A and B are shown apart, each in its own frame.
Chain A
Amino acid sequence: MKMKAQNALMKGKALTNGWSVVSLRNRIAFYYTIATAFLIAIVFTTIYFMVENVVYKQFDDEIKREISEILAYSNISIHNFQGFANIKDIDDAHNDNDHDNKSTKKKKLPVDTDFIQLVNRTGEVMNKSASLSWCVLAFNPNQSGTSYFNSDFGGTLVRQAQVPLVNQKGITEGYLIVATPLKNALIVLHDLREIFLFSFPVIILTLFVLTRSIAGKSIRPIEKVIATAEKMSQENLDQRIPLPYHHDELYRLSTTMNALLDRLEDAFLREKNFTADASHELKTPIAVLKGTLEVLIRKPREREYYETRIQFCLTELNRMSRMIDQLLLLARYESSKMNPHIETIVLSRHLENVIERVRPSALAKSISITVDHAEQALVAADPGMLDMILENILSNAVKYSPSRSLIAIVVERTTNAIVCRICDHGIGIPEEKLHAVFDRFYRVDESRNSSTGGLGLGLSIVKKLADLQQIKISIESKEKCGTSFSLTFPVRDING
């Protein structure tokens, strides 16, 4: 037993001291970080694309305005294109506009680096602004309708709009291409990307470290539980795990563990008390025998004196042997090796047998025993064990009943059980002592002497036997009025 417990403890130690506590902490941090990283990635990407979108939209709007200005100034109609010949020098127009109309210039963004280019349907450059000098803007012949796109222009990226010029017949004669350099915007976007890419791992790492320490802090109560549990042994079973401040799962864990410890301690104390009681109960008769015989042998005595003392020793020996028998019986039942042979039996027959057995002692005190409604009751029980239970309860009833009183046995049938009630009108049991009557060596009468001849084992044997057969046993009592034992036989076994 002890070895097993030791082993379990060692195993527990190996598990708890090693990586598993840290791992729980790391695991929490890891999962949390993964989830957060995912979220942050989504947020960053969204922000990036939104910013990019806004930036390009601004460029596109700018270009759009530019285009409409150019079209207005150069008198080009995109739906009623009159051919390239009618077009004034677009660059000049632009510059003129700059010079002549200062009010319009104010409205404009600094578009000093705008590039304008007119191409025909095949992409041949028909006209272009001076800012382009020898360069040519890219033309995308597959494009239909107005489109905005990025393109590479002499090593720098530009935002470019391509507006188709359609003649009266609806045929695209050529395209107006306007471009503006993206330089500043690109720097912004690039920086944003850089910041995001750099900050992402930093945030994640910081988060992991933080979460890990917070997780460690929040599972610290678990370590307290472990520390307390490790220190626990037979000697300090009264120790309890300190309860955490917050009423959370750990609080519940601690209270659950404490409740478990309560039960363990209770069982342990019971066992300890039993050992102490057993040693007291066995040592006392030995002390009596030894002392009586020692005193007897010190001097020569009268025959009568010898006889009374030897008689006394014999009764004491008988009592002791009865107690040893019952203790052995109890030990055998407790080891649970005893399997009851459950059969369907007629309860009344067993009751009669047992009543017959206790009749002499009942008659001696003029106690009458009545049995009600037991004729048809079939119960599932081990016949031998049932007899023992009934005899114990009945002989107790006789023992604690006053002369000329009545012991009533009533058998009742409820929907799912058969209840056998044995009621006496004896001295009864005080309420505060009812819970302990099934404990081994417990005697309601505190003076542990043998005035009633009881050993304090009978009812614990009864309880054990009843448990083995799944018979529920309960007790009701009122001091000085009487005691009633109820045996509840389960009905489900009756057919079996």
Chain B
Amino acid sequence: MRLLIIEDEPGIAGFLKDGLEEEYFAVDIAYDGKSGLDLALINEYDLLIIDWMIPALSGIEVCRQVRKAGNPVPILFLTAKDTVEDVVFGLEAGANDYIKKPFEFEELLARIRVQLRNKNQNDDSLSAGILSINPVTHQVFCGSNEIILTPKEFALLEYLIRNKDRVCTRSRIIEHVWDIHFDSDTSVIDVYITFLRRKLEAAGAGNIIQTIRGVGYIIREPGMS
């Protein structure tokens, strides 16, 4: 899952990036509204975290512009202002949720996960066939056997399962699992897919990841073909 943080305070942006990367998110940072908006419109993010008071273009304005461009990406805003009007103003500008500074990192994480849930999903667990993963605890189970994955492997699997029954192109996978500093050599995906397949097969999950030649990969729910 790839996030964009638009925050001018380097301290906050720094610990958010540290903490979120540990949670297997790919994180990009923009230090002002303008570059943030550019990034948000060019790249495909799974969530935007926007501070309200940022230079060049206010958080509210970034939010409006993103919505105006027809981008439905979930937006979480950070604010040091805590009056009701500010919050209402922010939500009306198109934000999905807000969190007041100073905030608990765990709470932010929980709110991010709520926004990342699929529409009909009530909890954070994701599954495909006998394979189930928990993004909160970063655990992967094949039936009752736990499979140990590296963060990148986990992030790749999480992305594929979140988009199960849909073809994930290489470029989309790169965009959502790796951050902006990664050069777009997509062969790294093949390497990680190979690692992942090997671990899943060893655990008895079978070859759940299918290759769509020349396009990308797909995880299909068994019984739907």
Contact = CB atoms under 8 A, between A and B. Distances in A.
A287 interface: yes
Given A284-B101, A298-B22, A447-B32, A291 B80 contact: no
Contacts of A295: 15, 18-19, 22, 105
B135 to A, nearest CB: 16
Given A292-B11, A295-B15, A276 B81 contact: yes
A interface residue count range (under 10 / 10 to 19 / 20 to 34 / 35 or more) = 20 to 34
A290 interface: yes
A454 interface: no
A291 B10 contact: no
A283 to B, nearest CB: 5
A284 B105 contact: no
Nearest to B102: A287
A198 B101 CA distance: 84
B31 A284 contact: no
Interface in A410-464: 446-450
A405 B179 CA distance: 42
Contacts of A287: 9, 12, 80, 101-103
Contact of B9 (A288, A290, A294, A312): A288
Contacts of B80: 279-280, 283-284, 287
Contacts of A450: 10
B14 interface: yes
Interface in B94-113: 101-106
Contacts of B1: none
Nearest to A292: B15
Specify the main secondary structure of chain A where it touches its partner: helix
Contacts of A447: 8, 31-32, 54-56
A427 to B, nearest CB: 16
Contacts of B11: 284-285, 288, 291-292, 312, 316
Contacts of B55: 446-448
B146 to A, nearest CB: 19
A449 B105 contact: no
Interface string B42-64: 00000000000111100000000
B81 A291 contact: no
A285 B14 CA distance: 13
Contacts of B22: 295, 298-299
Given A276-B81, A291-B15, A295-B15, A283 B101 contact: yes
A285 B56 CA distance: 22
A287 B15 CA distance: 10
A286 interface: yes
Contacts of B32: 447
Contacts of B104: 290, 294
Contacts of A292: 11, 14-15, 18
Interface in A70-126: none
Given A279-B80, A295-B19, A449 B103 contact: no
B16 interface: yes
Interface string B1-30: 000000011111011101100100000000
Interface of A: 276, 279-280, 283-288, 290-292, 294-295, 298-299, 312, 316, 446-450
What are the 6 A-B residue pairs with the smallest beta carbon separation, nearest first? A288-B11, A287-B102, A295-B19, A447-B55, A287-B101, A294-B105
Interface of B: 8-12, 14-16, 18-19, 22, 31-32, 53-56, 80-81, 101-106
Given A449-B10, A449-B31, 18 more contacts: A279-B80, A280-B80, A280-B81, A283-B101, A284-B12, A287-B9, A287-B80, A287-B102, A288-B11, A288-B12, A291-B105, A292-B18, A294-B15, A294-B19, A295-B22, A298-B105, A447-B56, A449-B9
